[in-house]
Structure 1
Amino acid sequence: MAAMAFDADDLFQCQRCGRCCQGFGGTYVTDADIDAIAAYIDCAVPAFRARYLCRSGSRPLLAQRSDGYCIFWDEVCTIHPVKPLMCRRWPFIPAVLKDVANWHAMATTCPGMRTDVADETIRAVVARVLARESASPNDGA
């Protein structure tokens, strides 16, 4: 199948296993993510920042539990309707465009990701998904 014939659903089918909610360096959040999650859990933004965020350099991340899972994971995502942009994008993330090996590394723990297609196809689909998303007025960024 040619790269243009592949779409996101051809490369990834979420299995709802939660493995993407554990590890991988944490979940970066945007100001829009912070506002939405804080409102969803009925928490003032300053209190939310103090209780649920940590920092990686200058960027805020959702805190992780001692087992490495996101603080909002409880056998399901407890903030799913307002999950962060990074989570909504998964596994179609910019790091794959930098190095397609990132796709293969993520796929070692994600049973919904296909690796039996050409790297060029993976890269092309990820690029299309990200381009389509950045053109959307509701991209959450």
Structure 2
Amino acid sequence: MPWKGGNPNSVGTNVPKPSDFFECQKCGECCKGYGGAFVNDHEIERISRYLGIQRERFLCDYCDWSGSRPLIKMAESGYCIFWDNLCTIHEVKPRMCKIWPFIESILVDPSNWAIIKSMCPGVRDNGNLDDLAKCVRNVLTEYDKP
């Protein structure tokens, strides 16, 4: 998982690290069946540029809408349209994908981690929900930096 501002796994020993809780297996389970990933204006521009297409074409060809918010389409297979045994836009994937599985809902209800663990073979359960919450906050803060 790429990080702005350094490697989050190299922080002090008392700070919980993402690798304490998760190691991506590149299985694509997080890329399927959940309705798509929301994209913001910055992500739309970045992905469009990466694909070499205009913003309007990206929105038309690669996005569905949930209310007024664009989200990346799902293919008939149930996977994200950018999944082809690996993420084909990995370098520019949306924040929603980059932070997985460290999502906001874990802070609302830590038992959501068990649900995520049941779907994702890379999730580890070390039993320390306080450390998990700290880790989630750190990940979310890191990805909210401009």
TM-score category of the 2 structures, normalised to the smaller one = 0.7 to 0.9
Maintained 8 Å contact 2:29/2:120: yes
2:27 alignment partner in structure 1: 17
Unaligned runs of 5+ in 2: 1-13
Aligned partners of 1:16 and 1:123: how far apart in 2?
24
Distance in 2 of aligned mates of 1:17 and 1:55 = 26
**C-alpha deviation, 1:43, in angstroms:** 1.1
Q: What is the aligned counterpart of 2:103 among 88, 93, 106?
A: 93
Aligned residues: 134
Q: Distance between the aligned counterparts of 2:38 and 2:62, measured in 1? A: 12
Give per-residue Cα distances to partners, 1:69-118, cap 9 Å, x unaligned: 00010111111111111111111111211122222211112111112322
Q: Is 1:8 the counterpart of 2:8 in the alignment?
A: no
Percent identical across equivalent pairs?
Answer: 42
CA RMSD for the aligned pairs? Answer: 1.7
Q: Cα distance, 1:5 vs. partner?
A: 4.2
Question: Matches of 1:79 and 1:93 in 2, distance apart?
Answer: 20
Q: Distance in 1 between matches of 2:91 and 2:56?
A: 21
Q: Tell me the secondary structure at the aligned position of residue 116 of structure 2.
A: helix
Q: Partners of 2:68 and 2:58 in 1: how far apart? A: 17
- One-letter code aligned to 1:56: S
- 1:123 alignment counterpart: 133
Spell out the pairing of 1:1-141 with structure 2 (5 A cutoff).
4-134=14-144, 136-137=145-146
Aligned-pair CA distance for 1:26 = 1.8
What is the identity, as a one-letter code, of the residue corresponding to 2:98?
R
* Pair 127,86 (structure 1): closer, same or farther in 2 beyond 3 Å: same
TM-score (norm 1): 0.86
Instruction: State the match for 2:6 in structure 1.
Output: none
SS of the aligned residue for 1:28 comes to coil
Residue ranges of structure 1 left out of the alignment (5+ in a row)? none
Deviation at 1:7, TM superposition (A): 1.2
Does structure 1 conserve the Cα–Cα contact (< 8 Å) formed by 2:82 and 2:88? yes
State the TM-score, normalizing by the size of structure 2: 0.83
Distance of 1:67 and 1:103 partners within structure 2: 26
Q: Could you list the structure 1 runs, at least 4 aligned residues long, displaced by more than 3 angstroms after superposition.
A: none
